[in-house]
């Protein structure tokens, strides 16, 4: 069984400030971890993913995340927030079991990021 916990349903930052969105996971097998962004009434866009290679993963739009096995965490960061980053962000885990498990995701509760001018 696997689960994802995102700490903080809402995060508010000023434009130019550091963005930190927290994600902790639980998985009985080595996980694949993902961060997705969702704009209102749209599907999900992949920001980045961890698939057991480098623990520091760089994604699109300046986002990155670090896999810390000892802390079971995969927090998302961005050094400088832009207004266009305002959206909802989801952390997700997939069992690293191959085959049809790929794409079968368990999502966190989501974090709404607000960026103030």
Task: Round to whole Å and give the CA distance between 96 and 33.
Answer: 9
Candidates 1, 79, 76; CA nearest to 35 is 76
**Is residue 113 at the binding interface for other proteins, with CB under 8 A as the rule?**
no
Which residue of 90, 95, 113, 115 would you call a contact of other proteins, by CB under 8 A?
Answer: 90
Task: Round to whole Å and give the CA distance between 14 and 82.
Answer: 8
**Is residue 102 at the binding interface for other proteins, with CB under 8 A as the rule?**
yes
The smaller minimum CB distance to other proteins, of residues 20 and 46, is found at 46
Which residue of 19, 105, 113, 115 would you call a contact of other proteins, by CB under 8 A?
Answer: 105
Residues 41-70 that bind other proteins (CB under 8 A): 41-46, 49, 51
Binding span for other proteins by CB under 8 A among 15-23, 61-69, 76-84, 104-112: 104-112
Task: Round to whole Å and give the CA distance between 108 and 56.
Answer: 20
**Is residue 74 at the binding interface for other proteins, with CB under 8 A as the rule?**
no
Complete edge-to-edge strand list for the sheet that includes strand 56-58: 2-7, 19-27, 73-78, 64-68, 56-58
Number of helical H runs and strand E runs in the chain: 0, 11
Contact positions toward other proteins, by CB under 8 A?
A: 32, 34, 36, 41-46, 49, 51, 90, 94, 100, 102-110
């Amino acid at each position: 069984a696997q689960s994802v916990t995102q700490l903080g349903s809402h995060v508010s930052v000023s434009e130019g400030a550091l963005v930190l969105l927290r994600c902790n996971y639980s998985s009985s097998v080595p996980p694949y971890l993902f961060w997705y962004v969702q704009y209102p009434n749209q599907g999900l866009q992949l920001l980045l993913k961890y698939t057991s290679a480098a623990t520091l993963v760089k994604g699109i739009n300046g986002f990155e995340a670090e896999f810390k096995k000892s802390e079971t965490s995969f927090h998302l960061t961005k050094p400088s927030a832009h207004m266009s980053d305002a959206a909802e962000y989801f952390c997700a885990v997939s069992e690293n079991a191959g085959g049809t498990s790929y794409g079968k995701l368990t999502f966190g509760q989501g974090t709404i990021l607000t960026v103030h001018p």
